[in-house]
Amino acid sequence: MLSDLKEKFATLEKNDLLRLKILTITPKSWSVKKLSEEFHCSWKFAKKAKDLRETGGIFAETTARNGKFLPTSYVQKIVDFYESDTNSRVIPGMKDVISVKNEDGRCLKRLLLFDLRGLFLAFKESNPDIKVGFSKFAQLRPRQCILAGSSGTHSVCVCTIHQNCKLMLDAVNITKLTEKSVKPISDYKDCLQQITCTDPSEECSLGECEKCPNISELMLNVQELLEEQDIYNVQFSSWTGTDRSTLQTKIVPTIAFLEELSNKLNLLKPHSFISKQQSQFFQNKRENLNDGEVLVVLDFSENYKYVVQDASQAFHFNNDQCTVFPVVYYYKENQEIKHKSIVFLSDSTRHDTASVYTIQKMLIPHIKKILDVKKIIFFSDGAKQHFKNKYQMINLIHYQDDFDVSAEWHVHATAHGKSASDGIGALYKREAARYSLMCKPSEAIVSRLVEWGQNHFESITTIFYSRQEHEKVERFLKKRFEKAPAVSGILKNHCFLVNEKRELFMKRYSNASFGSTIVYQV
């Protein structure tokens, strides 16, 4: 029998699990060395067989058993959590794509706004019924959702209000500094919690509650801890602006450091609340649109610079550009939420309120061809040169007269709200540049970009407006803009509605229960 086992063992492939099972039925008295010599296998393989027999007996099962099964619905919920605008943001660069197994074969990268451990805790808090471990949660992270510090993430426009607080807390290693204190601090969220009432109200979150703990108590505790460590000067970095700002390094006394940290935390408190509120409002509105409502997400993308293969040196330094204005709108049809994408191109590179109005004149008729629209809900960033200004507000007052449809405008918090329109703009420019480089110089798309876009994309509509059309709209709006009154407090508000009396009603955030009214002389 033993010789038959040896013969069978010798005929099997090295990766055949039956080889391991055969060794488990050899005499128990055999040593690992004898087992290795008799069957002409490695000492390591013989040792593995001996261990398997000790734990599982003769013919022990060699196949690993499956762990607990995670339902497909749970897996999809985790993936959706990663891809939520609250937890990640689209990186709007032309090259920020990654190959994935889907219909298109490519997908835009999304930068995770938190580390995996923080995301896991947030997921468990919002989904307590789903039993999943951290390792499985991390394993289910989509390939396009990349961590900060990964290749290509260094140029992402971050929120300086959030980031500056993080940089200052990291400068003093706040986690280690406060680990033995009564109220340890691990990040800025713990700081905000210590300067907010236990059961925070709307006023607490907006920094308008007089009962909230004074921030001076928190700063005094940090000061005492720093002095205990003989730290009297602090070196820290700080962003001096938004988007493409400069990172400056400072060395200041602890008193000056704590004073600046106090100011930044007081600024962060309402900002953090509003950013979350606007993101939640957007997601809820997108998922629960009523019949006749259209949610429009829009923004100027970075201008597209024409690319020509084998171009001359002079072309490189005198490269023309065109405006790229991506729009994604959501609507309800047959109880299902659908969306469509449009890219507006123009040889006018001025990004102002008149250009937005020019685009709206083309956008509204396009939407009306698809459905019977009653209300348009605009969502954008807070760029004051073309969105958040008195000229846009007076246009909003006249919206019913101009387009025979009511409208409201909602704005994301500063440096927040990267959306699908940003991704559409990046996709459009990347494909245009790629196609242009494959063409002969005489066939380059410098003068045929619109025609190319209309033929190339099946799911993106391309619409062109000329510099002359832009200037015509400017002349039309000139008298209206001259009468536009100043809108006091416009910068701190993020929701703009028009009531039945044709008055502008502004709120700090979209779900706020109160606001202020401005009367227009229409």
Give me the phi and psi of 510, to 5 degrees please.
Answer: -65, -35
Nearest to 171, CA basis, from 229, 218, 235: 235
Interval 64-90 mean pLDDT: 77
pLDDT-based confidence at residue 25 (cuts at 50, 70, 90) = confident
pLDDT-based confidence at residue 356 (cuts at 50, 70, 90) = very high
- Helix axes of 116-126 and 72-83: crossing angle, nearest 10 degrees: 120
Question: What residue spans define the domains of the chain?
Answer: 1-56, 72-146, 160-275, 289-518
Give me the phi and psi of 89, to 5 degrees please.
Answer: -135, 145
Whether 91 has a pLDDT exceeding 50, the answer reads yes
User: What confidence score (pLDDT) does residue 100 get?
Assistant: 54
Number of H helices, E strands in the chain: 20, 17
Which own/partner contact pairs does 501-507 have at CB distance under 8 Å and 24+ positions apart? 502/397, 504/393, 504/396, 504/397
Lowest mean pLDDT among 18-32, 61-75, 196-210, 263-277: 61-75
C-alpha to C-alpha distance for 403 and 264, rounded to whole angstroms: 43
pLDDT tens, residue by residue, 217-256 = 999 999 999 998 888 899 988 877 544 457 788 899 999 9
Which residue is listed with tokens 């955030």? 509
Please state whether the predicted TM-score (pTM) of the whole model is above 0.95: no
User: What confidence score (pLDDT) does residue 153 get?
Assistant: 41
Q: What single-letter DSSP state applies at residue 397? A: H
C-alpha to C-alpha distance for 222 and 173, rounded to whole angstroms: 11
Whether 65 has a pLDDT exceeding 80, the answer reads no
366-404 in b/e form (b: 16+ CB < 10 A) is ebeeeeebeebbbbbbbeeebbbbbbbbbbbbbbeebbe
C-alpha to C-alpha distance for 517 and 503, rounded to whole angstroms: 7
User: What confidence score (pLDDT) does residue 103 get?
Assistant: 53
Whether 155 has a pLDDT exceeding 70, the answer reads no
User: What confidence score (pLDDT) does residue 152 get?
Assistant: 43
Bridge partners of 107, per DSSP, are: 98
CB–CB of 304/94 below 8 Å?
A: no
C-alpha to C-alpha distance for 333 and 339, rounded to whole angstroms: 10
pLDDT tens, residue by residue, 187-224 = 898 999 999 998 999 899 998 899 999 999 999 999 99
Q: Which residue has the higher pLDDT, 87 or 460?
A: 460
In three-state form (DSSP H/G/I as H, E/B as E, the rest C), the secondary structure along 196-236 is CCCCCCHHHHCCCCCCCCCHHHHHHHHHHHHHHCCCCEEEE
Quote the mean pLDDT of the chain. Answer: 84
Whether 15 has a pLDDT exceeding 80, the answer reads no
Q: Which are the contacts of 145, defined by CB distance < 8 A and separation ≥ 6? A: 82, 83, 88, 109, 110, 112
Q: Which residue has the higher pLDDT, 63 or 25?
A: 25
% of the chain surpassing 70 pLDDT: 86
pLDDT tens, residue by residue, 167-191 = 899 999 999 999 988 889 988 989 9
For residues 85, 462, 301, 410, the Cα torsion angle rounded to the nearest 10 degrees is -50
Nearest to 334, CA basis, from 297, 387, 309, 370: 370
CB–CB of 426/92 below 8 Å?
A: yes
CA angle 329/428/458 to nearest 5° reads 65
| Pair type for strands 406-411 and 336-346 | unpaired
pLDDT tens, residue by residue, 366-394 = 999 999 999 999 999 888 888 999 999 99
Whether 456 has a pLDDT exceeding 90, the answer reads no
Interval 31-52 mean pLDDT: 87
Render 430-489 in DSSP notation, one character per residue: HHHHHHHHHS-GGG-TTTTHHHHHHHH-SSEEEEEE-HHHHHHHHHHHHHHHHTPPP-TT
User: What confidence score (pLDDT) does residue 417 get?
Assistant: 67
Whether 344 has a pLDDT exceeding 90, the answer reads yes
Bridge partners of 95, per DSSP, are: none
Whether 478 has a pLDDT exceeding 90, the answer reads yes
pLDDT tens, residue by residue, 280-306 = 999 899 999 999 999 999 988 888 877
- Helix axes of 353-368 and 390-397: crossing angle, nearest 10 degrees: 30
Which residue is listed with tokens 């995301």? 119
Q: Which are the contacts of 35, defined by CB distance < 8 A and separation ≥ 6? A: 23, 26, 41, 46, 49, 50
Q: Which are the contacts of 369, defined by CB distance < 8 A and separation ≥ 6? A: none
Whether 469 has a pLDDT exceeding 80, the answer reads yes
502 sits in the region (left: phi over 0; alpha: psi -120 to 50; else beta) called left
Which residue type occupies 362? M
CB–CB of 394/481 below 8 Å?
A: yes
Q: Which residue has the higher pLDDT, 386 or 415?
A: 386
